[in-house]
Amino acid sequence: MVLHNASSYLVCFGDKNDCCVKSYINPDKNKSKISGKLFDEVRKSFLNFAQINKIVFLKQVHGANGLCITDLSQIPKEKNIFDFEGDFIITNLHNIAIGVLTADCLPIVLYDKIKNIAAIVHAGWKGLVANIIGKVFEKLQKNFDSNPTDILVFWGPCAGSCCYEVNKDFFKNLEKFYFFEKTVVKKQEKMFFNLICFAKLQLLDLGVATKNMNFKYNNCTICDNRFFSYRLAGPIAGRQATVIVLK
Ligand SMILES: [Zn+2]
């Protein structure tokens, strides 16, 4: 686990060492479902480390909906944690950690330095095409009067353009975005997708500044073996947790 420890918030970037998540996935039952036992392990690992009271994850579905927690009663009960579907969490509550679990998808951590709001996004290409980033910013603006120029961004580990090979038809999914060609990486006869570039261009369009983006934690999950990779391991791949907590 790598920590980014600021005076008003803490971001934890998990990896394979934090919890043995691989064996807790039951591919026979439901490939995309992560068991409650995994949640217990992840929770324990992060609670011990970051000394936080509660940690919230959702059942991620590659969509564009999520949860905005402004009251303790909105936190899903721990035993039902993965019944609550969503791909982003926003909170203004302190000592409540919010997290996403990923293996190749991109974890995006957002922090409003003026309004003191934390948000975390599970961003694969499907969620990004479904405008998950736009929805998060809409909620930040509506609920907290956030200004995109005040948002700090931390990019977590994801499949990098060095390894994220796709076929040329893949880019048809992105054609509605005027900038999609910037996300295409060609090497010899092969084509690769630059996932973080796709997310970054959407954030820039919304008014977030490049100088507020931190790329230090964005390692490639496919060629850096500290991380779990769905592309390498398939449905049995573990997941790394990325978490932010307001102090
Ligand atoms: Zn790579």
pLDDT of 21 above 90: no
The pLDDT value given to residue 200:
98
Which region, left, alpha or beta, applies to residue 41 given φ > 0 means left and ψ of -120 to 50 means alpha?
alpha
pLDDT of 245 above 50: yes
Asked if 19 contacts 45 with a C-beta cutoff of 8 angstroms, the reply is: yes
Q: How far is the CA of 158 from the centre of ligand 1 (A)?
A: 9
Q: How far is the CA of 131 from the centre of ligand 1 (A)?
A: 25
Q: How far is the CA of 135 from the centre of ligand 1 (A)?
A: 29
What is the band of 46 on the pLDDT scale with cuts at 50, 70, 90? Answer: confident
DSSP 140: H
**Cβ burial 207-231 (10 Å sphere, 16+ → b, else e):** ebeeebbeeebbbbbbeeeebbbbe
pLDDT of 15 above 60: yes
Count of CB atoms situated within 10 Å of the CB of 233: 14
Interval 49-87: pLDDT, tens? 666 778 888 888 899 999 999 998 888 776 566 668 899
What is the band of 31 on the pLDDT scale with cuts at 50, 70, 90? Answer: very low
pLDDT of 6 above 60: yes
Q: How far is the CA of 229 from the centre of ligand 1 (A)?
A: 10
pLDDT of 18 above 80: no
Q: What's domain 2-159+211-246's superfamily in CATH?
A: CNF1/YfiH-like putative cysteine hydrolases (3.60.140.10)
Domain positions in the chain = 2-159+211-246
Residue 46 or residue 114, greater confidence: 114
Q: Nearest Cα to 11, choosing from 153, 139, 187?
A: 153
Q: How far is the CA of 164 from the centre of ligand 1 (A)?
A: 7
Q: How far is the CA of 35 from the centre of ligand 1 (A)?
A: 28
Q: How far is the CA of 161 from the centre of ligand 1 (A)?
A: 7
What is the band of 22 on the pLDDT scale with cuts at 50, 70, 90? Answer: very low
The pLDDT value given to residue 23:
38
Average pLDDT over residues 7-27: 71
Q: How far is the CA of 218 from the centre of ligand 1 (A)?
A: 11
- Tell the residue number behind the tokens 């003191």, with chain if given: 116
pLDDT of 163 above 70: yes
Q: How far is the CA of 238 from the centre of ligand 1 (A)?
A: 18
The pLDDT value given to residue 30:
45
The pLDDT value given to residue 24:
40
The pLDDT value given to residue 81:
61
Interval 164-219: pLDDT, tens? 999 989 999 999 999 999 999 999 999 999 999 999 999 999 999 999 999 999 99
Interval 113-155: pLDDT, tens? 999 999 999 999 999 999 999 999 999 999 999 999 999 999 9
The pLDDT value given to residue 210:
98
